[in-house]
A and B are shown apart, each in its own frame.
Chain A
Amino acid sequence: MLITCPYCGPRDVIEFTYQGDGNRERPDPASQNFEAWNAYVYDRLNPAGDHNEIWQHSGGCRAHLRVVRNTLTHEISSVAFVRGDHASAARRKAEGQS
C-alpha cells in the first residue's frame, strides 16, 4: 500500500504509523463532559468503505496526514496534511515524484 505524502511523495506504508479514526474530536481540555471524553478515547467509527483516518509519516517527514481510505479495497482517495498551515509545503506537481 502506498500513501502519497504531500511532502515526500508516494511512499510505502512501512514508513507510516497509523493513528486511527480521524473523526474523533477531543473535548475542550477543561471539559467535564465525560461522555464526550469517553467517546473520544474509546469509540471508533469502523466503516466498511471510505474511512477518514490519521497517519503519521513517521519514517519520513513525520507530518501527520489526514487520509481517506477505503477499508474494503485500500484505495486512498485523498491525503492532506492535518495541519492546514503546511499546505504550502506540499510537493508541486511539476516536480519529479518518487
Chain B
Amino acid sequence: MVERQSPLEPEFHVGSHGNFEHGVEILLTETRPGSIVQLAAWPGEEKKLMAAIRTVTGLALPDGAGGGLSDGVKSVFGFAPGKFTVADDAEGLAAAFAKVVTPDIGTVTDLSHGRTAIRIAGPKAEWVLAKFFAIDFALPAFPIGAGRSTAHHDVFAQIQRTGSDQFDIHVFRSFARSFWNALCHASEEVGYEVQ
C-alpha cells in the first residue's frame, strides 16, 4: 500500500509553538482517516441511508439536521439535507458503502483524498475556531457529535464536534495547507502544540 502524502507535510511542525511558556491551550493534528465518504440520499430515502450507515459503521445516527456521532474510529454527521459525511480510520469505506447504498437510496462519493481532516482540541479550541467561523461553538449550540457546514471566506469547512473541547475540521485538500497555517497562526496567542 502506497502511503498518502499529506498536504500539510512541509508545514507540519511537531512540538510546542507560540505563546506556550504559560502552558499549551491548543492541540493541533491531522487525523488522516483512511476513508472519507460523502453519502447523499434521494428525497424520502434518508432513513434507508441512515440504516445503511449503521450497517456499515455500526453508528446509529440521531435524527435531525447536523446530527452525528463518533466512536473514535469512525464518525458520521449530517452536513446538508439528506447528506452525510462518514470518516473511518480504515480505508475502503466507499467500497463498503457502494454495496449497501443501492442506486434507489442515493449516491456514494469517495472523498478520501479530497478532504483533509484537521483536529483542534484544548480549552481554547472554541476561542481559536471563533476567529475563523461565524458559528456558535458553545456546547449547548453545538453538541458533541454534531456537524456543521460553514466557510471561512474561500475555504469551505465541515466541522464535527468530537469532544467537549475537540473539533474535527474537514477542508478541501488544496486549501488545507493555507488553512493549517492560518490555524497555527491564530493559535499562537494561546500557545499550541502540534502532535
A7: B residues at CB distance < 8 A:
65-66, 80-81
**B44 within 8 A of partner (CB):** yes
Name the CB-closest residue of A to B152: A59
Q: Report yes or no: B148 in contact with A89, Cβ–Cβ below 8 A.
A: no
Q: Report yes or no: A83 in contact with B142, Cβ–Cβ below 8 A.
A: no
Interface 9-residue window, one of A9-17, A30-38, A66-74: A9-17
Interface residues in B, total, Cβ within 8 A: 23
**B183 within 8 A of partner (CB):** no
Q: Report yes or no: B141 in contact with A61, Cβ–Cβ below 8 A.
A: no
Interface residues in A, total, Cβ within 8 A: 27
Identify B142's interface contact among A60, A81, A96, CB under 8 A.
A96
Q: Which of A1-30 contact B (CB under 8 A)?
A: 6-9, 11-12, 14-15
CB distance from A61 to the nearest CB of B (A): 4
Q: Report yes or no: B151 in contact with A15, Cβ–Cβ below 8 A.
A: yes
**A46 within 8 A of partner (CB):** no
**A44 within 8 A of partner (CB):** no
With contacts A60-B150, A60-B151 known, is A14 near B82, CB below 8 A? no
Residue numbers of B with Cβ under 8 A of A are 43-44, 46, 64-66, 79-83, 134-136, 140-143, 148-151, 156
19 contacts between A and B (CB under 8 A): A8-B66, A8-B149, A8-B150, A9-B65, A59-B151, A60-B148, A60-B149, A61-B83, A62-B149, A63-B80, A81-B81, A83-B81, A85-B43, A86-B43, A95-B64, A96-B140, A96-B142, A98-B141, A98-B148
